[in-house]
Structure formats: structure tokens, C-alpha cells
Amino acid sequence: MSIKINLGYEVRDFEKGILVENLPLRQFKYHILISGNDSREKSAVLSHILNQIYVKAPDIGVLFVKLRSNEDTYLYHLNKVYEYGEPELEIPYFLEHAYSDVNREQLINCLNAMFGFHYEMKWVMRIIIKHYKLGRFPNSLVDFLEDLKNCLMEYPYDKHFTESNIKSIEKAIEFIQEDSLLERALWIPSGLPEWLKLWSEGKKVCIDLSSCDSQIQKLLVVLLCQILKNFVPTNESNIPSGIVVLEDADHILEEPPHDYYRKTYNSNRDYYGWKREKNYFLTKEQIEGAYEDPNYLFNIQFESVFRDLIVNEFRYRNISLFTVFVDTLKIYKFLNSSSKIKVLLG
């Protein structure tokens, strides 16, 4: 007999095309979106759904990522909570046991996005990673970035390109070292993080990032998704292999201003086209100047990496993403389109 989950509200059954309150568990292997202005109402709906899954499918692990202070967390009956800054919270920038050519390329894309590096820095990362024997990365992300900087200095490109990217790397190192808790959390441990083991055993764990600023939250959320992607093999399960919940995620998954980017680029096209013809490339600063946004490279690459993780990699592994927002019009469009179950509250 098929396990049914009650949502408490009518939603569209995308298999039958009708409005229902109860959906089979198999439909929850796709992404779920809950939106509305009332945070208590959203928490009530989320806990109502999750608590049924706890009872009816207790082997499915739930990773709850807390992004804002929320007094309703007790509703989720969590087995363990990891707060940012605790020594037990490990979010390594790479899982060494998962080393492969595909995972290496995805790590490169992820790191390039996290720090808003120039697109061409991916080639420099490939060079240094080839020097790491059997995928043995430095334990510290700062050491990895130092290696990246030294490689660029040893094998320089154009002077302006090299100077621009060294500046970006130094800024990334400074960003990590400003927060000793972040540097420690990103450290590659000798084994698997404890929260990952518990999640794989069907436990309900929470990673509390509510004390972090949005930039650190973005970095850690994309790394958490990367870790899960590397840990869970592709499968053809008929139910979720695991659940990830991002609550109050509006501020970290906000749609970039693509219309503004197109407009500003078109108005600046002639000047920057001339600069590219003269120098064969644009520096990071010039690219961001063309779009009149110092965060352009970060915004565009972060969106691309997150889309690949959620739309492709999570789907291949039947990892279900529950996202909780206020306004669906302001979030990434791909989250809206890839969420099969939508609970739209007032």
C-alpha cells in the first residue's frame, strides 16, 4: 500500500492534475516549495509534513538548515542540533573519499563561484589539483588558496590578469581568516562529518547558521549540497533517499537582476568590446564594470552552481529539497519550476 502524506492544504497532484490534500510519498522525492508571509503558519505546515514522514518513513534522514532565528524549531523533533562555531560542526570544502574527475570539476566550479573568481581561474585550479597526489587536498581551504596564488605567480598570465586575480585570491583568504570559526568548519577531517553519518542513518539533524551573515550562509549552504551530492550515489529509489530543508532562504537564493545586467551590458558593450580586442580579455574588475555590479561574477556563478546541484545532482540521487520562502517571485526561477509540490500560503 502506498504511503500517503497529508499536507493540510490542497495542492495540485502533478501526476493526476487534480487538487488534493494527500500525496503519495514517492512524489516527495521531488522538490517542495512552501511560501507565505506568516512564519508560524509556514513552520506549522513544514512540521506537519515532516513529522508524518518521521513516523511513516523513519529511515529517511532530514537535514534542517536554520538560516534565521526561529522559536518554532522544537516542532521538528530533531535528534541533534549543530550550531555554527561548535567544534563538532564540520562542513569540509571537499570529501576526499569522493575524489573523481567529475567531482573535481564540480569542486572547481563551486570554489570559483563561492569567491566570485574570474572564469579563467578554473584553468589555474586544474593545474594545482593535478599536483595533489591521489586527490589529497590540503586540509585547510586557506592553504589551497595559497597554492592557487603561488601557482599563478609561478606561471603568470598577462600582467593585468595576474594582478587582478591575485588580488581576488588574497581577498578570499582574508574573508576566511576574518572568522576563525569558518576556517575551522571548512577543514577536511580524517573521516566523515558526524552530521552526515547521522543523516544517512535516518536521523533528523539541524545545522544552525542563524548567527552567520548571508555571505557565509551562501558559502556553507552550497558546500552542504556539494557534500550530500558527493556522498549519496545516483539511484532509482521510489521514495526520497534523504531530505534537505532550507527555511527562510529568501535572502540567500534571491534571483539576480538579469534584466538589469542585460541593459547595462548593452549600454557598455562598445567600450568593453574595444577593451577586449585591445587586451584579448577582460579582467574581473572590467567584467563587473561592464555589468555595473561588483558582485556580478559571484551572483551569476553561484546561481549556476546551485542550479546544477539542485536541478540535476539532487534529482539523480532522489534527494528532496524543501525550500521555505516569503515571496516566490524573488527567488531563483529554477527553484520555482523544479518544485513539483507547492504550498502557497497567504
> What does the pLDDT look like over 260-318, one tens digit per residue?
999 999 988 887 777 767 666 788 998 998 899 999 999 999 999 999 999 999 999 99
Are 215 and 174 spatial neighbours (Cβ–Cβ below 8 Å)? no
State pTM to two decimals: 0.92
More confident residue, 53 or 133: 53
Q: What is the 3-state secondary structure (H, E, C) of 27-59?
A: HHHCEEEEECCCHHHHHHHHHHHHHHHHHHCCC
Band the pLDDT of 133: cuts 50, 70, 90: low
Say whether 317 sits in a helix, a strand or coil: helix
Q: What would the pLDDT profile of 312-340 be if each residue is shown by its tens digit?
A: 999 999 999 999 999 888 899 999 888 88
Nearest to 268 by CA among 292, 252, 285, 250: 292
Burial of 248 from C-beta contacts in 10 A (0-12 / 13-18 / 19+): buried
pLDDT at 131: 82
Q: What would the pLDDT profile of 32-44 be if each residue is shown by its tens digit?
A: 999 999 888 898 8
Say whether 62 sits in a helix, a strand or coil: strand
Band the pLDDT of 62: cuts 50, 70, 90: very high
Burial of 122 from C-beta contacts in 10 A (0-12 / 13-18 / 19+): middle
- Cell numbers standing for residue 15: 501526476
Q: What would the pLDDT profile of 139-157 be if each residue is shown by its tens digit?
A: 999 999 999 999 999 887 7
pLDDT at 300: 96
pLDDT at 310: 93
Q: How far apart are the C-alpha atoms of 253 and 244, rounded to whole Å? A: 15
Give me the residue spans of the domains in the chain: 4-89+193-254+301-344, 92-191, 258-292
**192-200 mean pLDDT:** 96
Q: What would the pLDDT profile of 208-267 be if each residue is shown by its tens digit?
A: 999 999 999 999 999 999 999 999 999 999 999 999 999 889 999 999 999 999 999 998
Average pLDDT, the chain: 90
Q: Please give the distance of CA 77 from its chain centroid, rounded to a whole number.
A: 24
> DSSP E strands: which ranges in the chain?
4-13, 18-24, 31-35, 62-66, 80-83, 204-208, 242-247, 319-325, 339-344
- What CATH number belongs to 4-89+193-254+301-344? 3.40.50.300
Q: What would the pLDDT profile of 156-189 be if each residue is shown by its tens digit?
A: 777 888 999 999 999 999 999 999 999 999 999 9
Q: How far apart are the C-alpha atoms of 311 and 190, rounded to whole Å? A: 30
- On the question of pLDDT at 13 being above 80, the answer is no
Pairing of strands 4-13, 18-24: antiparallel
- On the question of pLDDT at 1 being above 60, the answer is no
Q: What would the pLDDT profile of 86-122 be if each residue is shown by its tens digit?
A: 999 999 999 877 888 888 899 999 999 999 999 999 9
